[in-house]
Amino acid sequence: MASVDSTGSSVSGRLRSGDLLHAGLAVALLLGVWTVGGLEVSTGKVSSIEAMNGSTVLLPCTYSSCIGIENLYFNWQYNDNGTLIKLCEALIPMEGVEPKVRVLHERVEFVGSSKRNNISILLWNITFEDEGEYICFARNPKEKNRNHSAIFTLIVVDQMKEVDNTLTIIIVSALGGVIGLVIIVMVIKAVVVHFLQKDDEKNKECLVSSSGNDNTENGLSGAKNENKGTPKA
């Protein structure tokens, strides 16, 4: 819009840009209808996951289609260094009818449901060899067999999380220690202040008379305030 305004100084220019605008709008509308109408497969907002070896991971995938589905074919494939290995496949006859899934991998379990447009799978007991790209593929005959796919990346990590845990424990205990130390220091301070206060009362005349000692009194009153706060904690 802004560019149209800047170039549209002459009448002809304005006309041309107006035509362009209409053409652009038409194209955008067509594209919009095209994309909204077609099938879409998605692995969700997060397209990769880091999981520990030995764990079981969910490989998520959902589909959506405004024109509806009929005999929707889908499969999951693993990209083994360029070679696609089929993990499972199925046909969803129509919306809401659960597919009979043919599973071709011993550790794959279909956990989706066509009622929720969900064609996710579980991969059990993962090993480091399972790392890589998993492709969720779908084809809807209703829209000229156009192919749709989404890629999900699995990263298998060693039990590094435990190191993180120990680090957290170290940090937490260190923090706890520091807090404990602070409390001890405060208690000691309170006790010392308490005794100093008693001394104060005895030496009050001396403190008032000299300016140098004023600071000590300020410091002490500050300590008194902190001292009041401690019983609450």
Ligand X SMILES: *[C@@H]1O[C@H](CO)[C@@H](O)[C@H](O)[C@H]1NC(C)=O
* 138 CB-contact burial (10 Å; exposed 0-12 / middle 13-18 / buried 19+): buried
Residue closer to ligand X (CB basis): 60 or 227: 60
Residue appearing with tokens 């879409």: 40
Handedness of CA 79, 83, 87, 90 (dihedral sign): positive
Interface of this chain with ligand X, residues 127 to 186, rule: CB under 6 A? 146-147, 158
Q: Nearest-CB residue to ligand X?
A: 54
Q: What x/- string results for residues 15 through 54 when contact with ligand X is judged by CB under 6 A?
A: --------------------------------------xx
CA geometry: angle 72, 73, 75, nearest 5 deg:
140
Q: Does 112 interact with ligand X (rule: CB under 6 A)? A: yes
Q: Does 79 interact with ligand X (rule: CB under 6 A)? A: no
Question: Least separation, in Å, of the C-beta of 159 and ligand X?
Answer: 6
CA geometry: angle 45, 48, 50, nearest 5 deg:
130
Residues within the interface to ligand X (CB under 6 A):
53-54, 58, 60, 62, 81, 107, 111-112, 116, 118, 120, 124-125, 146-147, 158
